[in-house]
Amino acid sequence: MALSPEDPHSYARPDLAFVTDIHLELKVNFQEQILKGKAVLTIERKPSISEIILDSHKLFIWSVKSLHPATNLTYEIGHESRFGSKFTINLPEPIHETDTRYKIEIEYQTSKNSPALHWLTSYQTANRTHPFIHQIFVPSGFVVLMSALLENILSYSTRENLFEYFQTIQVPSYAVAIAVGSLKIIHISEDIAVFTEPKYIQEIGKSFYKVERMIQVAKQLCGPYRWGRFDICVLPPCIGEFQIECPCVAFVSPFLLSGDLSIISPIARNISQSWAGLLVTCANYEHMWLNESFAIFIYRKIVCILLGEEMKLFLEMKSRHKIKRKISMLRSMERVKNLVPTLTDMLPENETKYVFYEIGYALLEHIQSVLGGSEIFEPFLKSYLDKFTFKSIKTDDWKKYLYEYFSDKTELLNNIDWDMWFSKISILQDILNKTYNIEFEKKCFDLVDKFINWDEKSENLLRLALSSDITQLNDLQKTIFLAKLYASPSVLSSEKLTYMSYLYHFDNHCYKIRYVWILLGIKSRWNNLDVNRLLEFTIDCCTPKFICALYQDLYKWEEMRNIATL
């Protein structure tokens, strides 16, 4: 079956007939791990078109009917491929030739292995009493948070509530998300609330109070915030990095809790996606850089304004190190894709992870520099986002508008090697080779040298100097400091670690600091390592990314090996 000519990963033909709005009524069945209910679609078609083509993936369709006029509709679900199935619905005969709008109702049920759902057992949540779900539409008896605005909460019985959400702005289908769980709500401001499991309530206030300032900076850069609210959902700790662009809500890891602005700054990435990816979105996965690279570009501008140029450069370097590690794990550079790849007959979730959107970020930085700096380029950024508001575009659309906006700088733009940036991976190596001397990182490294070289038996006066150095660091610097000590071939004595614990209380800091502190204690075979706190931490932070490394190190410590193998 032929895929869409505009999207190599979809059967849908929105150029012929498309969905203008959706009304969903769904119920969660935690025991069977399914959603069941109905979707009412408002359809707009071209006059000569008699069907609408949709995508279906691992769904059971029970019935399809027209509401006006009320009649059952015939439909066909094609063969299941790796891109899902072609779902063709025959629309009713129009009463008048001018009738081009229909409402149809689809009753359906998800399958247990639906890739759109992520079910957690009660044990995987922080308080271990209620399940937690994301990426689904569902009213439920618990608290429901959706990438939309809450309109009403209706009580059907003592056991069941119905949460009604609405979203008046059209969004990409991948941007519709929902969380259901035993959640508490903490209001940060009139338009910002945090949804969290009860366990984290005490840590919320000091964690996210700067989010409102981030949004203000983003508005200055990008224009009006169109989504009404910006809520935050703290995910269960067993969920690792959860990257999804959705309006009205950001899903974040508890690893950000209790951290200062340097730690919670990644939320600015979620904020930037409210413009790059949601307000303006790419037409298909081949042009995903219009979402990802622009979001990175805006995110780092926000960070630069709030935390300084050095923090922005640090994020660039950190991203390049990640890319280098990822490339080093590949058997061949052939897996690496160029910025605007051809993904025909390829699963996008498999291939886009080999598109390094840092290239697109570097391109935007390069264009900004060529055209005269941020004072020249930032007005274009705001104009671009306004020009294509609520539109799906391709790279050529963006490039055409760039030339239109800077019509007096055509020669400068023509000097950019567009083919190299878009179609060649050779540019990646030039980006990865770029380095910076970052002063705040150097302070951390100097402090590491002091601790390693400190003779705790004779240099007692140095303790005060070391104390003042640590207290001047932000949480990110403290994490860098501990990570550098952990990576060093030198092993700190138990006396040094005991002194550090007494003075700095690293085990009471945010999760990121606690994690590296525990690793450092295991590496140094610290005899005062609190095993109970260690076990508590592994339960609170059960993400494989963190726990695997921790238990691997613990297993190497012979006296603690029995704990690692429990």
Q: Which residues are annotated as a binding site for Zn(2+)?
A: 292
User: Do 134 and 113 meet the contact criterion of CB atoms below 8 Å apart?
Assistant: no
Cα–Cα distance measured from residue 477 to residue 338, given in angstroms and rounded to the nearest whole number: 34
Burial of 31 (0-12, 13-18, 19+ CB in 10 A): exposed
| Nearest-angstrom CA–CA distance, 71 and 65 | 6
CA nearest neighbour of 264 among 272, 274, 256: 256
Tell me the binding residues.
292
Of all helices (H) and strands (E), which one includes residue 63?
Answer: strand 59-67
Contact 485, 520 (CB under 8 A): yes
The H helix count followed by the E strand count for the chain is 21, 20
Residue 150 token pair: 């809450």
CB 114 within 8 A of CB 45: no
What token pair was written down for 259?
A: 């951290």
Alpha-helical segments (H) within 329-351 = 348-351
Whose CA is closest to 512, among 470, 544, 532, 483? 483
Contacts of 442 (CB under 8 A, 6+ apart): none
The C-alpha atoms of residue 24 and residue 39 are separated, in whole angstroms, by 5
Q: Are strands 280-282 and 249-252 parallel, antiparallel or unpaired?
A: unpaired
